Structure 1
Amino acid sequence: MTGPVTRPLSGPAWTDAEALECAMVVPETADTATFTFRAPSGAWFDYQPGQFLTLDLPLPGGNVQRTYTISSSPSRPLSIGITVKAQTGSLATRWMLDHLRPGMRIRAYGPAGVFTNHRHPAGKYLFISAGSGITPMMSMTTWMWDSGEMPDIVFVHAARTPSEIIFRQRLEGMADRVPGLQLRFTVEETDPFRAWTGYRGRLNQIMLGLMAPDYLEREVFCCGPEPFMQAVRDMLGALGFDMERYHQESFAAPARNEAEVPVLDDVVPDETARAEVVFALSGVSAPCTETDTVLAVAKASGLNIPSGCTFGLCGTCKVMKTEGEVHMVHNGGITEDEIEEGYILACCSHPMGRVVVAV
């Protein structure tokens, strides 16, 4: 009986001058699969966890290039893997799921990218992701697991349903064996006939405080759809987090180098900037600063806006804004449709200049 075939690391590392050969396709969830590639020459793979590859895919209408985050870890250098999820109208990813099979060869370019914990070493990490944004987090977590040192990671992931949590079983298997990997999943809705004991609903400030009470001490990496990342930045900023320790990766345009990393020009209320709240129904106008809330200004002016939680959760303080702009970071107490209609939550809305409300 012969033993297992081994492939010791010898020779050069893979470069994108050589095509990749698909070695394995592993289904993860519905419309999601991991594609594992090898170098036909036997070359090994050298990259940083969290980086990405650009694939040249032979679609029927002509080759197209698409960028995918590497979900494997460089601590396992004999192969390289990407995990893809087909979105509505996704031609390239749909082609991969339907047609890319073991033995096929495609061109690939990279690896590249600056979204990696190797550039920001820390003792404690907070990974926050949604959907297929989990892929770089999986790569970085696997690297730390394989390093042989106890990780300290709070791994927060948002998905539509529990069955759509990519890598769930793999992550739970790792977390079962080390206390330093803490998994925190939240879903929009549950699967029929299957109990769900985790978090439910949109990720918010209160939920984040429960998931990672020491979030102020952690280096934060975030990846997901742009609205999701914007919401995460807003809640962290409102909680007083040092945003120099926040790092994110864009689905649409991942940065190849530091020069391509976009400047995050988020709205941050300024305690020195003057503002004003006009309570139209009461005939009261009150000067304030951007860091004041509409609710606080109302109370200071002797007006009563019914309120409950004061965290943007219960929705009791919902009022109509008729003019101006506010910076609102809520915790689910208002819907997007209500915001479109002009409603705000007074407890967590900061006036950015002159604002008129129907109070």
Structure 2
Amino acid sequence: MDALAPRNGPALWNPEEDEHLVCRAVREETHDVRTFVFAARSGGAFRFEPGQFLTFEFPVAGEPVYRCYTIASAPSRPDTVSITVKRVPGGPVSNWLHDTMRPGTVVKASGPMGEFSWARHPSPRARYLLVSGGSGVTPMMSMARTGFDRAETRDTVFVHAARTPLDIVFRDELDLMARRDRAFRAAFVVEGDAPGVGWGGYRGRLTLPMLESIAPDWREREVFVCGPAPFMRAVSQMLAGAGFTMAHHHEESFDFAELTGTEKTEAVEAEADLKAEARTFRIEFAKTRRQVDCPEDVTILEAARRAGIRLPASCTKGLCGTCKSKKASGEVAMHHGGGIRQREIDAGQILLCCSRPLSDVVIER
């Protein structure tokens, strides 16, 4: 197992007993990317699998906002966990983190969660290909750091795509690991140049000929992909088109984008079909004064999305807690996967992604 527990040290961090993490350091990675290092307020050590994520509660503009962030650090260094976040123009959470988070700041967190880890999808040949784009580098970094710290015999090729050479996150550290570990190789692909920075490496977008050059034996590797949805889609299509056995392909992404126009149209049509077969209840979002109809066999999150309402959500399986919301009135049937605590349920919180209405419901959003 890659989830490491200290043999003779402090007790493990237990979010059920102490959900608070204290920021210990803020580190500049690139001009718009920072790493935030946290320790448990209780002093407990962290145990997780490389590639897993935590769900954070951030007090943005006086309101609790939930976001999932993959742990970028390695479980082989259990005293702290770190997340690495890119500032997104207009992004409420990323800008809050960059502008507000300082050493000593206390936030709430739960987890770890997730199945995107080489601990859960081991390669029969101990050969791995980690492909990341942009901020999708974080789970790959956790896996790479773990293998390096533990001196594991994993043949690993790490491919990272970025906009320019200045946007390559963790470049120095990856180069260091490649120099010191013969079983580890790192390659970077950039779309364009940066002022005053020379570049003699791969240029453009990742292509099959590039991949063949970087890792000629890529078909024999367990492949992990993380990045923006279009990036992952392109990589998946490239691998499948080349005849790769997709059972050895794994991907992870947290996408909070709104539904496209086509998706909304399809959702409305699907909703019409469902309405003919199931009882329908009225869901009211109190703060925005939006109301939607929700069939009894559809989750509140899905009904909201069909109506074009943008709500934060990630796993949609009741695991991460991103869609956690306060229920002001009404009854729901909620079947979650661990993303909410009993005391939160007792206080009226629900997960919209796995809650189906049993009556009209009012949500404090």
Which TM bucket (shorter chain)? 0.5 to 0.7
Partner of 2:288: none
**Residues 300-330 of structure 1: CA distance to partner in whole angstroms, max 9, x if unpaired?**
xxxxxxxxxxxxxxxxxxxxxxxxxxxxxxx
Aligned residue type for 1:221: F
Aligned residues, how many?
Answer: 254
CA distance in 2: counterparts of 1:64 and 1:43, whole angstroms: 25
Residues 120 and 256 from structure 1, CA distance in 2 versus in 1: closer, same or farther, beyond 3 angstroms?
farther
**Shift in alpha-carbon separation, 1:50–1:257, aligned structure 2, 3 A:** farther
1:127 aligns with 2:126: no
List aligned pairs for 1:186-201, cutoff 5 A. Answer: 186-201=189-204
- SS of 2:67's equivalent in the other structure is strand
Relative distance call for 1:209 and 1:102 in structure 2 (3 A) is same
Q: Which of 157, 160, 170 is the aligned partner of 2:173?
A: 170
2:242 is aligned to 239
TM-score by length of 1: 0.68
> Are the equivalent residues in 2 in contact too, given 1:113–1:256 (CA < 8 A)?
no
Match status 1:96 vs 2:115: no
1:81 aligns to 2:82 (yes or no):
yes
What is the one-letter code of the residue matched to 2:236? R
- With over 3 angstroms needed to count, the CA separation of the structure-2 counterparts of 1:121 and 1:257, relative to structure 1, is farther
1:209 paired residue number: 212
- 1:219, 1:246 within 8 Å by CA — same for their partners in 2? yes
Deviation sequence 1:236-294 (CA, Å, 0-9, x none) = 0111100000000012265487999xxxxxxxxxxxxxxxxxxxxxxxxxxxxxxxxxx
**Deviations along 1:40-76, whole A, 9 cap, x unmatched?**
2211000100000111001114110111110001110
Task: Point out where structure 2 has 5 or more consecutive residues left out of the alignment.
Answer: 1-5, 256-312, 321-365
Deviation track 1:61-94 (CA, whole Å, cap 9, x = no partner) reads 4110111110001110011111111222211111
Question: What is the correspondence of 1:287-302 to structure 2 with a 5 Å cutoff?
Answer: none
Q: TM-score, normalised by structure 2?
A: 0.67
Contact 1:70 1:81 in 2 (8 A): yes
Distance 2:169 2:186 in 1: 13
Partner residue in 2 for 1:71: 72
Instruction: Determine the structure 2 residue equivalent to 1:248.
Output: 251
Q: RMSD over aligned Cα, in angstroms?
A: 1.9
* Residue of structure 1 in register with 2:46 after alignment: 45
Change beyond 3 A, Cα 1:31–1:8: farther
How much has 1:210 moved relative to structure 2?
A: 1.1
Q: Is the 8 A contact 1:216 1:241 kept in 2?
A: yes
SS at match of 2:180: coil
Q: In structure 1, how many angstroms separate the alpha carbons of the residues matched to 2:319 and 2:254?
A: 17
- Counterparts of 1:85 and 1:201, CA distance in 2: 21
Per the alignment, residue 21 of structure 2 pairs with 20
2:186 paired residue among 183, 187, 191: 183
Contact (CA 8 Å) 2:113, 2:319: kept in 1 or not?
A: no
Whether 1:220 aligns to 2:229 is no
CA contact (8 A) 1:223 1:251 kept: no
What is the letter of the counterpart of residue 69 of structure 2?
A: Y
Q: CA offsets per residue over residues 128-169 of structure 1, 9 Å max, x none?
A: 010000000000001111112233111111000011111111
8 A Cα contact 1:126 1:156, kept in partner: yes
Whether the 8 Å CA contact 2:22–2:38 is kept in 1: the answer is: yes
Decide which of 140, 145, 148 is 1:142's aligned counterpart: 145
Aligned twin of 2:163: 160
| 8 A Cα contact 2:52 2:139, kept in partner | yes
Q: Is the 8 A contact 1:127 1:153 kept in 2?
A: yes
Q: Secondary structure at the match of 1:176?
A: helix
Q: Structure 1 runs of 4+ off > 2 angstroms?
A: 7-12, 253-260
Q: Is the 8 A contact 1:124 1:152 kept in 2?
A: yes
| Other structure's SS at 1:98 match | helix
> Counterpart of 2:13 in 1: which secondary structure?
coil
Aligned residues of 1:112 and 1:256 also touching (Cα < 8 A)? no
Among the aligned pairs, what percent are the same residue? 47
- 1:204 shift after superposition: 1.1
- The secondary structure found in structure 2 opposite 1:173 is helix
Please tell me whether the aligned partners of residues 223 and 248 of structure 2 are also in contact (alpha carbons under 8 angstroms): yes
